[in-house]
Structure formats: C-alpha cells, structure tokens
A and B are shown apart, each in its own frame.
Chain A
C-alpha cells in the first residue's frame, strides 16, 4: 500500500508542473468557450456579450463549410493510405532483403525532417516546369500540371505530402509489432498449407490490430493539428481548396485579427477532437480482448 502524499511534497511534485499544464491546456480551452460569447473589443468600445451571435456566424460561414469538407477528406485520405503503406514498408524492411538499412533510411528520413523542410522539398517537387513531377509527366508526354495552383489538385497534393512524411514513423511501430509476432504461429499456418498471403491476412494482420488502433489515433490527431505545409505551400488556396481547420483558425485570428471568431472556431475544433476521442474510446473498449 502506498503512503499518503505529504502536503509539502505534493506542492513540489504536483502543483508547479500541473499549474503549467492547466494554464496552457485547460484554461485556454475554457477561455475559448467564454470568449466565443463575446465580440471583439475595438479602440472605441470594449467587447460586449453577444450570446450565440458568433455561433450563428459559424453556421452561415461558407468558407468554414468548405474547410470542414477539406479537413474530412484530408483525414479520410491520409490516415488509411499512410497505414497501408506503413504496413507494406514494415513487411519489406522485416523481410531481411539485401539493402535493408538503406531502405529503412529512405522510408524513415521524411519523418525526421521538419514539416517546413518537407514543404520546401515538395514545393520544389511540384514546381511547374522545373519540378520532378513535371519532368516525370514529361517522360510520358503529359503537359506540366500546376498541382498546387488548381482547385482540383491542391488538396490531393497536400495529402501526398502528409502521407510521405508520416508513413515512415508508423512503419516503426508496425516493425516492432511484426517482430513480436510468434514464429510458431506462422509456422503452424504454413504446415497447414497456407501460402504467404494467407499467413499475412489470417495470422499476422489480426495480431497487428492494437498497433493499427494506436497508429490510427495518432494519425487522426496529427491530421488536425499539423498544417505547416498548408501555410508554406498554398496558403489554403487556390480559392480555399486546400485550407484545413487549424489553418483557417490561424488566418482568421492572426490574419484578420478576429480573436472572437477564432475562439469560436477553437471551440469547434476541441469539440471535433472530443467526439473523435469518445469514438476511439468506444472502439478501444470493444477491441480490448485483443490486447
């Protein structure tokens, strides 16, 4: 049985660290809710209580509607693709082929790079005429496409960047999980006459499920909180086609200096993440017997 925590120790061990955490996590979240009921102060008059006015603006905001569609597509596009690629990479790296170290380096390198560096690299990659994308299209006789400058390709281009950056990190987690798969299970399946494909889908893949849940949770949160590449590569454009929610919060607050609406959008963001968390909790509980 543990000892009771003496008051003096509690002050040192818990109060200072937790105060910092609360001041920059819980306090701002609550203050965003409060501020979303007030309008902006101007030089002539202080801010006043406006009730649900900011939320009415939220519902009537066409740009926001587009941004939410973009964010949903972005999450649904990047998370499954990154997971499938990560599993493929882990299988390849785990297969003891020649050149494994080099291969692992190639897959993992993008994860090490800051998103801002990744954005620069891909900005160059996509650059019409100069970039590698145009050159490769040129080999097949296709005219250069301005990937970042067209409303129908800009979001997909952002998604490619995100998948490129994230898949390598997820590969590491799958690599760890693959190495924990008991060899005798696979041997038993092989003795029963199962081919490599069967062994993967019926033996290995079910054992990877806890990893997949862990990775999916992280990938989903990242899809909402990492927008550095949007700032550098497209600034949400053209015509809002690549704007994501956090980027929209950033432009509304620090571009248009509309802090009240920024707070309202923050509340929306926190609510979305909260719903996702509850959903994940539910799935985790349902799948608990696998762990």
Chain B
C-alpha cells in the first residue's frame, strides 16, 4: 500500500518537475506559432499561424547563415576526425621520446580551451589575415584534445593480437589503422561526431568576434543580430527565428533520441 502511494508521489513529482522544465520552451513555441497580439495574452483558441516563420526567414539571410554553419561544422568535424585519429594512433601504437610530456601538453587544451583565449587568438587571425572568414572560425578547433583523449582510450582497447596478425599478413601502418583500429572505434566516432556537431552548431562568442559581414555568419551569430536589430524586438518573430535555427538539432534529437543519449553516455563515461 505505502509502496504504491510512494510511486504515485514520485510520479507526481516527476510530472511537475518535467512540466516546469519544459515551460519556458513551450511558451516560446506557443508564441512562435501565434500572431503578435497573442504573445502578451494567452488564449487557448487563438488561431495558429506560420506567418512568423515566413517573415523571420525573409527579414534576414537565414539561408546563408545555415549554409555557413553547415560548412563550419563539416570542416571542423572532418579535420577533427582525421587529425585526432592520427595523434591517438601514434600514441597508442608507437613509442617515442617525450610521449608522456607531449600528451600532457595536449591535454592542457581541455582546461584552457580556445574560448578563453579569444584576445590573442583574434590577434593571430588578424596577423594572418583570416578574420571574417569561415576557416578563421574553424582554425582554433581543428585539433581537439577531447577527441584525441577519447580515441586514445578506445584504441588502447583494441586487442594486440589483431594488430600483430595484420602485420604478419603484411599490412603496413596505414592498413592496420584503416582495417583494424578505425572499424573497431566506429561507435566512438559516432559519439564524438554528435558532440562535436552540437558544440559547433551552438558556439557563439568566437564566431561573433571573428565575423563582421553577414556572408560568413553562422546561425547563432545571425540569430543574435536578428533578435537585437532586424526584428525590431517583435517577440513572436524572435521566437520563430529561435526555433527555426535550432529546429535541425531538435528534430535530429527526437529522431535519434535513444542513440543520442546512449552515445552521450559512452562519450562521457571513460
């Protein structure tokens, strides 16, 4: 009896907390789908409309922003996958002088990430003339200590015997990497890709500093410019633009919820 009562209590608590947590987002969704005059007064029978999305899309070059973000995250992801794999492979499979020191040096980036070094990194970009370019936004993130760490941990679990067997068959260093290590690390690559994509889709401060012109802005910077300047602070428009720019991630999450959560877990618990 008290057990089932406990359960009901628990379920109520859960429902209340989930509802409170969802409230700010739901309110924003509600406003985005209704005309401006309803954003101040909540009426259940207010007519739904998509006009806010259409107007927001036309008021700022969101299609350009989207393309820029896609170029940015693809560049960073491809560079990360290749470069982190190479470094992790070298650490796991070979011995060389100063290996421990070099690894510690790389791990420094986990603590002092590029977000914190905006001042000097901006000066570096200005020196080499890459401010206001997409490659300039991507440059500090091309090698990732987190990726190297994750892949090294994974590569270390690859059975030695597999590696040696491949060598006896006459496979060289690159063959062994491609045929043995990379396939066995596939789930980790997927997990890392998800984390990397969501991080760079969401990144704001560094792109804000680097970019000046609309042609190279990613969606986050575009959204902030839109919310403060272009929209004339019309709440239904701002909310529509906010949803629009995050929709791809939200839809992807709802589709892949199970794998996403599992992969996030696997990425974290190591």
Write out the residue numbers on chain B whose beta carbons fall within 8 Å of the beta carbon of A115.
Answer: 202, 204
Contact of A122 among B24, B115, B208, B220 (CB under 8 A): B24
Encoded as 1 (CB less than 8 Å from any B CB) or 0, chain A from 93 to 129 comes to 1010111011111111110111111001111110101
Contact of B261 among A24, A98, A104 (CB under 8 A): A104
Which residues of A113-164 are within 8 A (CB) of B? 113-117, 120-125, 127, 129-130, 132, 135, 164
Could you say which of B17, B21, B246 has the most chain A C-beta atoms within 10 Å of its C-beta?
A: B21
Could you say which of A121, A211, A253 has the most chain B C-beta atoms within 10 Å of its C-beta?
A: A121
Which residues of A248-291 are within 8 A (CB) of B? 249-250, 253-254, 259, 262-263, 265-266, 269-270, 273-274, 277
Encoded as 1 (CB less than 8 Å from any B CB) or 0, chain A from 149 to 182 comes to 0000000000000001000110011011100000
Query: Smallest distance from the beta carbon of B190 to chain A beta carbons, Å?
Result: 16
CA of A269 to CA of B115 in the docked complex: distance in angstroms? 11
Tell me whether B95 and A92 are in contact (CB under 8 A): no
Tell me whether B95 and A17 are in contact (CB under 8 A): no
Which residues of B220-253 are within 8 A (CB) of A? 220, 223-224, 227-228, 235, 238-239, 242, 245-246, 249-250, 253
Contact of A20 among B27, B83, B203, B265 (CB under 8 A): B83
Determine whether A206 belongs to the interface, using a CB cutoff of 8 Å to chain B.
no
Tell me whether A124 and B238 are in contact (CB under 8 A): yes
Tell me whether B173 and A18 are in contact (CB under 8 A): no
Contact of A124 among B31, B115, B143, B254 (CB under 8 A): B31
Encoded as 1 (CB less than 8 Å from any B CB) or 0, chain A from 210 to 239 comes to 010010000001001111100110000000
Determine whether B48 belongs to the interface, using a CB cutoff of 8 Å to chain A.
no
Determine whether B178 belongs to the interface, using a CB cutoff of 8 Å to chain A.
no
CA of A209 to CA of B106 in the docked complex: distance in angstroms? 27
Query: Smallest distance from the beta carbon of A31 to chain B beta carbons, Å?
Result: 5
Given that A4-B94, A110-B25, A130-B235 are known contacts, is A117 also in contact with B245, CB under 8 Å in the complex? Answer: yes
Determine whether A89 belongs to the interface, using a CB cutoff of 8 Å to chain B.
yes
Determine whether B182 belongs to the interface, using a CB cutoff of 8 Å to chain A.
no
Encoded as 1 (CB less than 8 Å from any A CB) or 0, chain B from 171 to 203 comes to 001000000000000000000000000100111
Determine whether A196 belongs to the interface, using a CB cutoff of 8 Å to chain B.
yes
Tell me whether A2 and B261 are in contact (CB under 8 A): no
Query: Smallest distance from the beta carbon of B201 to chain A beta carbons, Å?
Result: 7
Determine whether A16 belongs to the interface, using a CB cutoff of 8 Å to chain B.
yes
Determine whether B60 belongs to the interface, using a CB cutoff of 8 Å to chain A.
no
CA of A89 to CA of B86 in the docked complex: distance in angstroms? 39
Determine whether A51 belongs to the interface, using a CB cutoff of 8 Å to chain B.
no
Chain B interface residue count, CB cutoff 8 Å, equals 86
Tell me whether B118 and A253 are in contact (CB under 8 A): yes
Determine whether A57 belongs to the interface, using a CB cutoff of 8 Å to chain B.
no
Write out the residue numbers on chain A whose beta carbons fall within 8 Å of the beta carbon of B208.
Answer: 231
Tell me whether A164 and B205 are in contact (CB under 8 A): no
Write out the residue numbers on chain A whose beta carbons fall within 8 Å of the beta carbon of B203.
Answer: 114
Tell me whether A32 and B87 are in contact (CB under 8 A): no
Tell me whether A20 and B10 are in contact (CB under 8 A): no
CA of A117 to CA of B223 in the docked complex: distance in angstroms? 8
CA of A154 to CA of B82 in the docked complex: distance in angstroms? 44
Write out the residue numbers on chain A whose beta carbons fall within 8 Å of the beta carbon of B27.
Answer: 121, 124-125, 132
Tell me whether B119 and A130 are in contact (CB under 8 A): no
Encoded as 1 (CB less than 8 Å from any A CB) or 0, chain B from 137 to 178 comes to 001101101000000000000000000000000000100000
- Closest-by-CB residue of B relative to A224 is B116
Tell me whether A14 and B90 are in contact (CB under 8 A): yes
Determine whether B18 belongs to the interface, using a CB cutoff of 8 Å to chain A.
yes
Write out the residue numbers on chain B whose beta carbons fall within 8 Å of the beta carbon of A12.
Answer: 86
Tell me whether B94 and A3 are in contact (CB under 8 A): yes
Tell me whether A10 and B90 are in contact (CB under 8 A): yes
Determine whether A5 belongs to the interface, using a CB cutoff of 8 Å to chain B.
yes
Determine whether B105 belongs to the interface, using a CB cutoff of 8 Å to chain A.
yes
Which residues of B106-144 are within 8 A (CB) of A? 106, 108-109, 111-124, 139-140, 142-143
- Closest-by-CB residue of A relative to B173 is A9
Contact of A103 among B18, B86, B198, B250 (CB under 8 A): B18
Write out the residue numbers on chain B whose beta carbons fall within 8 Å of the beta carbon of A135.
Answer: 42
Determine whether B66 belongs to the interface, using a CB cutoff of 8 Å to chain A.
no
A-to-B contact residues, CB < 8 Å: 1-5, 9-10, 12-14, 16-18, 20-29, 31-32, 35, 88-89, 92-93, 95, 97-99, 101-110, 112-117, 120-125, 127, 129-130, 132, 135, 164, 168-169, 172-173, 175-177, 196, 211, 214, 221, 224-228, 231-232, 246, 249-250, 253-254, 259, 262-263, 265-266, 269-270, 273-274, 277
B-to-A contact residues, CB < 8 Å: 6-7, 10-11, 13-15, 17-19, 21-25, 27-28, 31, 39-40, 42, 83-84, 86-87, 89-90, 93-96, 102, 105-106, 108-109, 111-124, 139-140, 142-143, 145, 173, 198, 201-205, 208-209, 219-220, 223-224, 227-228, 235, 238-239, 242, 245-246, 249-250, 253-254, 257, 261, 264-265, 268-269
What are 9 A-B pairs with beta-carbon distances under 8 A? A24-B139, A29-B120, A93-B14, A117-B223, A117-B246, A120-B242, A130-B40, A221-B113, A266-B120
